[in-house]
Amino acid sequence: MAKLVYRFQEGNKEMKHLLGGKGANLAEMVGLGVRVPPGFTITTEACNAYYTHDGQLFDSLIAEVKEHLQGLEEEMGKVLGSLENPLLVSVRSGAVFSMPGMMDTVLNLGLNDQVVEALAQQQDEKFAFDSYRRFIQMFSDVVMGVEKFHFEQVLSRIKAEKGYPEDKDIPAHELRQIVQEFKVIFLAQTGRTFPQDVEEQLFLAIEAVFRSWNNNRAKVYRRLHQISDSLGTAVNIQAMVFGNRGDESGTGVCFSRNPVDGSRELFGEYLINAQGEDVVAGIRTPKSIANLKEDKPAQYQELLGLVEELERHYQDMQDIEFTIEEGKLYLLQTRNAKRTAKAAVRVAVDLVKEGIIDKQEALLRLSAQEINQLLHPQFRPDSLAGAELLATGLAASPGAASGKIYFTAEEATKAAKQEKVILVREETSPEDIEGMVSAQAILTSRGGMTSHAAVVARGMGKSCVCGCQALQIDETTKTVRVGPHLLHEGDVLSIDGATGKVYLGALETSQDSHDEHFQELMTWADRIRPLKVYVNADNAADAKTGLGFGAEGIGLCRTEHMFFEEERIRTVRQMILAKSSEERSVYLDRLEPFQRDDFYQMFKVMEGRHLTIRLLDPPLHEFLPKEEEQIASLAADLGVSLVALKRQLHSLAEFNPMMGHRGCRLGITYPEIYLMQARAIARAALKARKEGTPVQADIMIPLVGIDKELTYLKNLIQTCLEEEMEQAGLRFDYSIGSMIEIPRACLTADQLATQAAFFSFGTNDLTQMTYGYSRDDASKFLESYLDKQILPQDPFVSLDESGVLELMKLAIEKARSVNPEIAIGICGEHGGDPVSIERCSDLGLDYVSCSPYRVLIARLAAAQSQIKKERQIWLDK
Ligand code: ADP
Ligand code: MG
Ligand code: MG
């Protein structure tokens, strides 16, 4: 079997898959000569092998661990379990991708009733028993599943009874007492005495880390972040250094830049005379790293130097864990830091300016999710002006949200199905993860900027205010008191994670992505990408929003949405139910001015950019009333009997409307409908042109599957447009093209392309018809398909590579072979999906079109796929 254990000296940062992120980075730091306590890493492969051995540690693994333990003992000059010279170690999990708080760590392993006495004699009694009580608590929690609160209760009680303000003020004799109580709790909860055999402790802890890979919260986290379940976790065994060895010791966490806004400053927190978990767990409120400058100037300077060195080495912002033992600084972890989207952008831009990375690399560092975060809401200034400030906490993760408050993750999750909720807790723990996912925002009364709540919320892009000490939360009565206010479960609060402010009642929000660094980054993206980004917009307001986000045109304007307004729908219904084409024309003439005005508004906004208008597409009965009352009122409008109308409605109903009388089939059966739309477009365009506004009208015919459909309709529309222009004595630029959304259209794309000026893949319908899945019913079975891994993903979300994409490829080849000039784009939902955009870019499409709020994502994704393509070409050379 392959090697299962590596000394830190043997690894490096490229070995993440084998050593986990933590182990690989510890090894890298050792290689750089940074002061790191020695240790070794059990590989992720060992974890997977553990699972294939039915969840049992196996002999070869045990032997390899023992051999490395011996090596560590020699290196340290200490021995695990020795009374003369005891070695204590930490057992730390380390997955391939960092999963904050997800996996578990045990510190001070190697202590037992004898070793602790030896340590007390050799070193210091208080330190020895403080370490032991921590070890018992962590071991109980991580290895035996005894919940922390059993132990925390004892600590709190003794602090309160004896008036010790903080953990570190508890004297040695009390710590001895606490250890006794902890052991009693252990016995009561597990039915066995606390293990005294140090080797047994070690192997139990290793197994617990392996098992923690499959605990519920780890699974939830992985699902949320799309991390594969099969990666496994590594385990790091590391000699302890002690931050709880008096006032010249301490422990902390620091970021090389501000993870909230990205500004360049050391950012973090520390505690004097404490061990790591205290800072990370968010149980005690630590001091800001700025204070370390005065507290421990020499160590502060050393830390600053190391942080800069590591940042340059990793070429990215770092999140570093450190411990000071009697004045000596050790680093215990470094990793690329989690950050808000705002910070991600600023850091990427600054790293380019500092010459650490290039622009391409900066662009690749941003994710679609982060762009989504940038679109996060903020409270509107007018709404804020009248708001009542309740309290202020730490601004842990930006975004503004209002919602009803709930005090447990479970209740929040339940309530979130109906309404917007805010999860309010003293502090969060990994068990709360589902509640955090479902909440709009998270509010805690304890914990700092690196507490669990803060880190996880930033990762999710969720609004979070933490350490809001004015809150007195009582979970049992489901209330929170804040000064004179007493709030109950279900009361509404508003939270601004960018300022840390908490307001009473609901506030209105607005969105803003006009951050200067972001704008700069996007100009780099635009220069790199050849793929154009259009927006799907049905009205002038959406068009404006889309342009605001940088869309270069409209790739899809659905005209049916224009029919639904109160004053129009009645005429639309009369038009549909008309008995003859003459009668229908009367109603169409009434609708035409409405359409004309819609198009005119949009031409004005677009100022000559492409406006792609799709002619009427859905089956007509979608416009007809379904409820009795409305049917009666329509009968009255039409002057027909209820029975007669119902009969007519019945005759219009279809068994399979998605494959029925819709799209260009309507244009063929009722040419007057498409003619009205063409006329409205022409008149709107001419009006805009008269005012000097440039116009580019692209008329798109939906659901074409036969070339003759296109011939017929193109001719109809062209004649109409030309007539209108002739009459007006003025021209405007137009083109006529086709949607490609039926498999037959792909297969006969060469026949269509001779007539079409452009193609737009309607990938929603194309996916529907390629799979033969009804888009509206697929939810009934897709879940099972995904669960059973029959489908890798929902094909309506991410383009199907082997089917739909192949059809598109074929269509493009055929089309370009007869009409090299033809413009080809995509306007389905996939146009906003980053992975699909990459595929579109690879296919050589000219543009993607997506909904307004996805335009930014599409611009970035288009640039990223271009960069990847160029890098690949470069690599292939
Ligand atoms: P997490 O992944 O939850 O951050 P870690 O394995 O990093 O867990 O451990 C948490 C903290 O425990 C570390 O930040 C560090 O402060 C402390 N710690 C871990 N190992 C040691 C060690 N060998 N010596 C001193 N402190 C340690
Ligand atoms: Mg942990
Ligand atoms: Mg850590």
Tokens of 553: 């045109």
Cα(86)–Cα(234) distance, rounded to whole angstroms? Answer: 25
Does the domain at 377-510 match CATH 3.40.50.720? Answer given as: no
Look at residue 826 in the predicted model and tell me its pLDDT: 97
Atom of ligand 1 nearest to the CA of 102: 3
The DSSP code sequence of 404-427 is: EEESSHHHHHHHTTTS-EEEEESS
Atom of ligand 1 nearest to the CA of 253: 14
Does the beta carbon of 92 sit less than 6 angstroms from any atom of ligand 1?
yes
Atom of ligand 1 nearest to the CA of 37: 23
As annotated, the residues of the chain forming the CATH 3.50.30.10 domain(s) are 377-510
Look at residue 102 in the predicted model and tell me its pLDDT: 57
User: Looking at 720, 827, 840, 850, which residue is catalytic?
Assistant: 827
User: Looking at 452, 517, 621, 830, which residue is catalytic?
Assistant: 452
Does the beta carbon of 277 sit less than 6 angstroms from any atom of ligand 1?
yes
**pLDDT tens for residues 404-438?**
999 999 999 999 999 999 999 998 887 788 899 99
Q: For residue 189, how far is its CA from the centre of ligand 1 (angstroms)?
A: 26
Q: Return the ∠ at Cα 198 (arms to 195 and 200), rounded to 5°.
A: 65
Q: For residue 452, how far is its CA from the centre of ligand 2 (angstroms)?
A: 9
Fold type of domain 241-339 = D-amino Acid Aminotransferase; Chain A, domain 1 (3.30.470)
**Closest C-alpha residue for ligand 1 atom 23:** 240
**pLDDT tens for residues 794-844?**
898 889 999 999 999 999 999 999 999 999 999 987 888 899 999 999 999
- Please give the single-letter amino acid code of residue 732: F
Closest ligand to Cα 274:
1
Ligand 1, pocket-test mutation among 209, 280, 450, 455, most atoms within 8 A of CB? 280
Q: For residue 24, how far is its CA from the centre of ligand 1 (angstroms)?
A: 15
**Average pLDDT by stretches of 10, the chain with 877 residues:** 93 96 97 98 96 94 98 97 96 83 82 97 94 95 90 92 89 96 97 97 95 83 81 95 93 93 93 81 77 95 97 97 96 92 92 96 89 78 87 88 95 94 91 90 87 79 90 93 94 93 92 79 96 94 91 94 80 91 93 96 98 94 85 88 90 86 95 97 98 98 98 98 98 98 98 98 94 82 86 89 96 98 92 91 95 88 95 81
Under a CB-based contact definition with an 8 Å cutoff, are residues 575 and 587 in contact?
yes
Look at residue 861 in the predicted model and tell me its pLDDT: 95
Q: For residue 105, how far is its CA from the centre of ligand 2 (angstroms)?
A: 5
Does the beta carbon of 241 sit less than 6 angstroms from any atom of ligand 1?
yes
Which residues touch 208 (CB under 8 Å, ≥6 apart)? 104, 106, 142, 143
The question of whether 664 is a catalytic residue gets the answer no
Look at residue 107 in the predicted model and tell me its pLDDT: 95
Ligand 1, pocket-test mutation among 237, 323, 456, most atoms within 8 A of CB? 323
Compute φ and ψ for 331, nearest 5 degrees. -100, 140
Cα(182)–Cα(101) distance, rounded to whole angstroms? Answer: 23
Tokens of 66: 């023992």
Q: For residue 215, how far is its CA from the centre of ligand 2 (angstroms)?
A: 14
Does the beta carbon of 90 sit less than 6 angstroms from any atom of ligand 1?
yes
As annotated, the residues of the chain forming the CATH 3.30.1490.20 domain(s) are 5-240
CATH class of 5-240: alpha beta
**Closest C-alpha residue for ligand 1 atom 22:** 240
Cα(572)–Cα(319) distance, rounded to whole angstroms? Answer: 61
**What is the CA 829 to chain-centroid distance, rounded?**
18
Look at residue 459 in the predicted model and tell me its pLDDT: 66
The question of whether 254 is a catalytic residue gets the answer no
Please give the torsion angle defined by the CA atoms of residues 423, 427, 430 and 434, in that order, rounded to the nearest 10 degrees: 0
**Closest C-alpha residue for ligand 1 atom 15:** 276
Cα(873)–Cα(726) distance, rounded to whole angstroms? Answer: 51
Under a CB-based contact definition with an 8 Å cutoff, are residues 271 and 278 in contact?
yes
Does the beta carbon of 720 sit less than 6 angstroms from any atom of ligand 1?
no
Look at residue 283 in the predicted model and tell me its pLDDT: 61
Q: For residue 373, how far is its CA from the centre of ligand 1 (angstroms)?
A: 30
Under a CB-based contact definition with an 8 Å cutoff, are residues 143 and 106 in contact?
yes
